[in-house]
Structure 1
Amino acid sequence: MTNPGYISDTFLLESPLAQQLYQSYASHLPIIDFHTHLEASDIYYDRSYSSITDAWLSSDHYLWRAMRSVGIDEYFITGDASEYEKFSQWCEAMPFLIGSPLYQWCHLELKRFFQLDQLLCPENCQTIWQHCNQKLKSGELSARQILIQNKVDALCTTDDPLSDLQFHRLLAEEQFPVKVLPTFRADGLINTQNPPQFKLTINKLAETTKTSINDWHSFQHALKQRIEFFHAHGCRLSDVGINQLDAIEQPSHRTEHLFELILKEQDLTLTQQQQLSADIFHYLAEQYHQRNWAMQIHLGVMPNVNKRRLTTVGVGTGFSIMHDSQVTIALAERLSRLDNTNQLPKTVLYNLNPKDTWPLASLIGAFQDSDSAAGKIQLGAAWWFNDHKHGMIQQMTALANLGSLGRFIGMLTDSRSALSLSRHEYFRRVLCDLLAKWAISGEIPNHQPLLKQTIDNICYHNAKQYFDF
C-alpha cells in the first residue's frame, strides 16, 4: 500500500497562511527539549537502535496500550516474541488507530528520519522493516546524530536525586555541542506514604551525601547538598509527579516530630503523611527559588489501576489513567505559602486531566511576578493523554484567554526515544495553523512581524530566556 503524500509539506496546515508561517518561521528554529526521559549515558555512548522495534516498541507504554486496545496479545507487546514479530503486530494494529496521535507521530518519524512515504500496515511491514533497520545500522540515526540533525540546543534528562551525573559531566567536559543537562526528579523524596520505603530512601541519601541523617534538620542539609551537586552540573530544573493534592494545615512545628516517627519506622496517619510530604515539598521549593531553578509539577496520574497487570507485567507499562480529584484549592495553598515569603520559584504546571486545564490557566495568573522571569508561572504543554492536536489547541486556547500565550515556553517530548523529537515539528505545525485560523478570522491581526515574534518566542526564545541554561 503506497502513501500518496500523507506527511506532506501541508501536513496539519490547513491554509496558505499556516503553511507560510510554518515554513518561513517555525521550521528553522532550534529546539530546547526541557523535559525528556532520554538517558545521558545513551547520548555519551552514542547509542544506536538495533531495529525499528527497539526504537519504537521496546519501552513506549503509549504504543503498548494502543496495541492492547486493538486486541494484540501481550506476548507480542511485552512478552518474548521476536523483534520482527512485535513489529509485525504493530503494523497489524496501525490501521485500527486511524485518528490517533500515535498514527500521526509514527508516520512523521518514518518521513523525517527514514524518508519513507509508505503507510504502516501489514502489506508494507516487510519493506518498512528492512528499510528502517538498514538505516539504523548505518549509524546515521545514532543518539548524537539525531540531536544534531534536529538542531537541539539544549536537552534535559530526568534524574534520580541520588544520581552521580557521571555522563552529564563527561558530555560537558567533552564540549558536546548539545547541552545535556540533568533535572532533579524529587518524587522519591516526598513520597511518605510507605514509611519503611521512605526510610530506605533516607538511608540511601545519607550514604550518598556521607552524612548522618538523624533528624529533620540533617535531612534538610542532605537535600541541600544534593541540590547544590545538581546545580554544579548545570541543573536548572526540578520535577515532581503528584498524584493527588490535599488541602491541609501546615503547622511547621510538628514537622520535626513527624520526621522522627519516620526514622523510627512508625506508622503515620494519612493526614500526617500529607503534612510531612507538603513540608518536604516546601523546603525543596525554597531551595529551587534560591538558585533560580524552575519547578515542574506533573499533576493527576492514577497509576497502575489494573492490579492483575501490575503483578504480571509491572509498573509503568500502560495501565495508568487520569485522576479525577480536585487539584486547584490545594495547589493554590502550596503556591501561596511559598509566595508569602517571596520564595515561590519559577513553576511549570502540567495537568493530565483536561478538566483542570482552564482552572490551572486561571491559577497561574494569581501568582505571576517579575522577580525571576516573565511568565514566571507557566501552564505547561499538553501532556500524556492530552499530547495531541486537540489537547494542544485546548491548552493554548486556555492560555491565550486567561493568561499570556506570547510568554508560553512551548513544547517538550517527555519521551524515552530520540526519534520523538519530531513531536516538536508536530506542535509547531499545530501552533502555526491555530494562529493562521485566528488571523484569517480576524480574531488577531494578520500582521507578519507580530505572528513571527509569537512563533519565534513560543518555539524557542521564551524557553531559552526562562530557563537561562
Structure 2
Amino acid sequence: MKPFLNQDFLLQSSTAEHLYHDFAAKMPIIDYHCHLDPMQIAGDINFANLTDIWLKGDHYKWRAMRANGVDEQYITGTKTDFEKFEKWAATVPYTLRNPLYHWTHLELQRYFDVHHILSPKTAQAIYDDCTAKLQTPKYSVKNIITKMNVEVICTTDDPIDNLEYHQKIKQSNWNVKVYPAFRPDKAMNADDVAGLNQYMAKLEAVSDTNISSYSDYLAALKKRHDYFADNGCTVSDHGLEQIYAEDYTADEISKIFEKIRSSKTLAAVEVLKFKSAMLHEFALWDHEKNWVQQYHLGAIRNNNARAHREIGPDTGYDSIGDFTQAQALSRFLNKLDGTNQLAKTILYNLNPADNELFATMAGNYNDGKVAGKMQFGSAWWFLDQKDGMTKQINSLSSMGLLSKLVGMLTDSRSFLSYPRHEYFRRLLCNLLAEDIENGELPNDVEWTGKIVQDICYYNAKNYFSFK
C-alpha cells in the first residue's frame, strides 16, 4: 500500500516514476489560459490569510460546501474568514474521490509544506501556519508564482480593459511574462440588448469612437484588438454555449444592429445571426495577427436563478450543457478554412460526450503548415480531474496526435492552482508507462520522455507567439 500523496502519487510503475521525475517534473509551466487578477500580480500583494487566497472566489469549493450542508453565510456570506475555513476543513473529509480532495492536499504540500490531512482537528494549526507564511515576502503573489516554475501567464480580459496592470507588470521586468487574452463575449451578447448598449457606451469611451452603425462597432472593437496586440496579446478566448455559424448577409447584420441601437427586441434568429457575424469577424482578426483562438464550449451558466439574483455570476451554479456542437462547428471552421483565414485554434468541450466529436473535428482542419495547428484542448472545468483528463488523453490519442498537444492550463482564479499541471503530468506519464509495461509501446523511455517534455512544455512554447 502506497502512502497517500507521496512522491510517486498516481505513478503506478517504475517506468511511470522515471518518466515523471526525470522528464516531466522540472518542465516550466506555460499557463496560456487562466482568470488570475493582473492587478494583484502587479501589486505583488500578500493575502491576508488562508481563506483569502484559497476560498474566496473558488466556486469548486463552494459547491462542495453547499453539498455538505454548509450555510451560505459560511461560503459567500458575512462569517469571519476563519469560520469559513472551519467549514471548509469540516467538508474536506467528505470530498473523498472528488478531485478537491487531491487538489487541497497537493496545494497544502506544494505551497506551504504542510503534510497533514485537513480536517476539523487540524484546521486551526493549518490555518495559523499557512496564514503566518502568507504574511512573509516569500509568499507574495509573484514569489508564489515563481515558486511553481511558471514562465508565461495569459489572463482573460475584456476588450474595454485598459491593460494598465499588464503594463505595470511588464515595466517591473519580472522574469514571468504576463499577457492579456482578448475575451469579447460581452461584445456579441445580443441576448441582452440593454446590456449590449451599455457595453457599447463604454466601448465608445475607451476607443474614442462614435458607434452609430455596425461598421462603427467593428472599427471600435478592431481598435481594441490592435491595442491588445500592442500590449503583447497573441491569444483570444471565447466562452460560449456553442459555436454560432448561421448564414447571414451584411445588410441583415446592419439592420439587426440598428434594432439593437434602437433598443428593440431581437428575434431568436436575429440573435444567432448577429453572434455568428461577430464571431467570424473576431476570427478574421486573429488570423491576421497570427493569434491563437480558443473556444470553450458547452457550459450552461447561472442555472439557479435565485442564487444568481442574490449572489451573482461565477459563484458555483454552472453545469455541463448538452448543446449540439458538430454542424455549427463544422460550418464555422469550414468558412474560415475556405478563405485560408483559419487561425491556430484550440477547442475545449465541457460535455464528455463530445470528446470524440471535438477530437475528430479538430483533425478536419489541419493543413500541414503548422504542427498541431488544430488542437483538441485539455480537459476543461468539470473535466479537469483524473477521469476527465484520462478520457481526453485517450480520445486524442486514438483520433489525433497526443504528441502534439500543447499541454495543461489552470483556467483558474486562484494563485494556488498550479499543482493542476503536476496532476496532469503525473497522469500523462502513468498512462504512457502503462502502455510500455503492457508491451503496447516500445521500451524506449528516452523517446517517450521527449514526447512527455513536448506535451508539458515545448509544444506550447513553439505553438504560441509569446515574446
Identify which of 279, 282, 295 aligns with 2:280: 282
Alpha-carbon deviation of 1:422? 1.4
Match of 1:216 in 2: 214
Give the whole-Å Cα distance in 1 for the aligned partners of 2:310 and 2:218: 38
Q: Deviations over 1:76-95 (max 9, x none)?
A: 11111111111111111111
Q: Hey, what's the Cα distance between the residues in 2 that align with 1:248 and 1:222?
A: 24
**Does 1:376 pair with 2:378?**
no
CA contact (8 A) 2:35 2:411 kept: yes
Matching of residues 202-281 of structure 1 within 5 Å: 202-245=200-243, 248-281=246-279
Shifted more, 305-314 versus 61-70: the winner is: 305-314
Distance, in Å, in 2 between the alignment partners of 1:262 and 1:217 is 14
Asked whether the 8 Å contact 1:6–1:117 carries over to 2, the reply is no
Match of 1:461 among 444, 448, 458: 458
- Please give the per-residue CA displacement for 1:384-418, whole angstroms capped at 9, x wherever unaligned: 11010110010011111111101000001111111
Compare 304-313 and 153-162 and name the one that shifted more. Answer: 304-313
Q: Is the 8 Å Cα contact of residues 7 and 111 (structure 1) preserved in structure 2? A: no
1:198 is matched with which residue?
196
Instruction: Indicate if the aligned counterparts of 2:244 and 2:275 stay in contact, CA closer than 8 A.
Output: no
CA drift at 1:246: 5.4
Matched, 1:409 2:413: no
Unaligned runs of 5+ in 2: none
Within-5 A mapping of 1:70-469:
70-245=68-243, 248-371=246-369, 373-469=370-466
Aligned-residue offset at 1:22: 0.5
- What CA deviation, in whole Å up to 9, does each residue of 1:342-382 have, x standing for no partner? 111111111111111111101001011244x3111111110
Distance 1:325 1:281 in 2: 18
Residue 96 of structure 1 aligns to a residue in which SS? Answer: helix
Measure the CA separation in 2 of the matches of 1:18 and 1:252: 56
**Does the residue aligned with 2:25 lie in a helix, a strand or coil?**
helix
- Could you tell me the percent identity over the aligned residues? 40
Query: Aligned equivalents of 1:370 and 1:43: distance in 2?
Result: 39
Q: Does the aligned pair in 2 maintain the 1:381–1:395 contact within 8 Å?
A: yes
How many correspondences in the alignment? 465
Deviation at residue 174 of structure 1 after TM alignment:
2.2
Residue 347 of structure 1 aligns to a residue whose secondary structure is strand
What is the aligned partner in structure 2 of residue 6 from structure 1? 4
String of CA shifts for 1:47-78, please: whole Å, max 9, x gaps. 11111111111110010001111111111111
Pair 370,223 (structure 1): closer, same or farther in 2 beyond 3 Å: farther
- CA deviations 1:284-331 (Å, max 9, x no partner) are 100000000011111011111111222222211111111112111111
Secondary structure, counterpart of 1:122 in structure 2: coil
Shift in CA distance, 157/247, structure 1 to aligned 2, threshold 3 Å: closer
Could you list the per-position Cα deviations for residues 22-50 of structure 1 after superposition, in whole angstroms to 9, with x for gaps in the alignment? 10010111110001111111111111111
Describe the SS at the equivalent of 2:138.
coil
Asked if the contact 2:245/2:276 (under 8 Å) is kept, the reply is no
Q: Counterpart amino acid of 1:174?
A: S
What residue identity is the alignment partner of 2:341?
Q
The code of the aligned residue for 2:139 comes to L
What is the DSSP-based 3-state SS (H/G/I as helix, E as strand, rest coil) of the residue aligned with 2:293?
A: strand
The CA deviation at 1:442 is 1.9
More divergent stretch after superposition (270-279 vs 148-157): 148-157
Tell me, in whole angstroms, the C-alpha distance in 1 between the residues paired with 2:367 and 2:197. 37
Alignment partners' CA distance in 1, 2:283 and 2:402: 25
What SS does the corresponding residue of 1:418 show, helix, strand or coil?
Answer: coil
Structure 1 range deviating more: 265-274 or 441-450: 441-450
